Amino acid sequence: MAKEHLGFIGVGRMGGPMASRLLDDGFSLTICDTSDAAAAPLVARGARRAASPAEVASTVEAVMVSLPTPSVVQAVALGENGVIGGSRVKTFIDLSTTGPRVASAVAAGLATKNIVAVDSPVSGGVSGAKNGTLALMVACPREMFERMQTILRPIGKPFFIGDRPGMGQTMKLVNNLLSAAATAITSEGMVMGVKAGLDPKVMLDVINAGSGRNSATQDKFPRSVLPRTFDFGFPTELLYKDVKLCLDEAEALGIPMFVGNAVRQMLAVTKAAQGPDSDFTSLVKCIEEWAGVEVKG
């Protein structure tokens, strides 16, 4: 039996591989993206390209979006020619990172047209998107979560976070804060060791066999820092955005974030020194420059 016809808006760095996996799994897609280059590989595989989010939402009942910033998500969902203007759409599945307040506002806006918003940010990076191993942090009515398994499982492992829009976003912001903090503190520790004459590969082997291991020592540094490729696949600008969103939300909740603020400052320095499009693993370069050494294998 043929699988559902889905909409997918935003088929770039993360959305493209996710949409490709849905095609692999037998879904048909109508896609929308401002980039011809991003859309072309999917169109070549049989996806139909629509001219606007509203056109996508007039073609299918379920629309998935993977977009870079909260303002873009709001515009695509609620703006002129947005999803809200579609004639068929019933479900809006947001795989982006927007923060809980934007997720709540989008859900409230779409609800005026009886469109249910599913707050479902993802974690796992580009490799996770390509391999279908993303963690999906889903907030929606419980019965809808159960019904959506066939759509979500081709792209990763869905976790039910709660039934209120924004709960998935809060989970994602905490996750990305921890990921950024691990990268920042690992950069400092590794540069210190190299400056003192230690072999960085041996350092990572020891750390990963001990209590200091984290996502940066286990994955990011071996894959992107020691080989000096800095190609882990996530721009500094976007990680800075996510950490800032987290700190803004923490402030609204009355939660002090002393370490989180230090991490945000390091990302701001990296963004200024290495450029907003630099890979976030380039953070180590700033500390290397101050120390006069390089962490390389």
Catalytic residues: 172
Query: Kind and range of the H or E element at 294?
Result: none
List Cβ neighbours of 83 (8 Å cut-off, separation of 6 or more). 9, 53, 54, 56, 57, 63, 65, 76, 77, 89, 92, 110, 115
Cα 126 from chain centroid (whole Å) = 9
User: Which residue carries 């039934």 as its tokens?
Assistant: 163
**What is the helix, strand, coil percentage profile of the chain, to 5?**
55, 15, 30
For the record, the structure tokens of 59 come out as 């073609």
Number of Cβ within a 10 Å radius of residue 76: 27
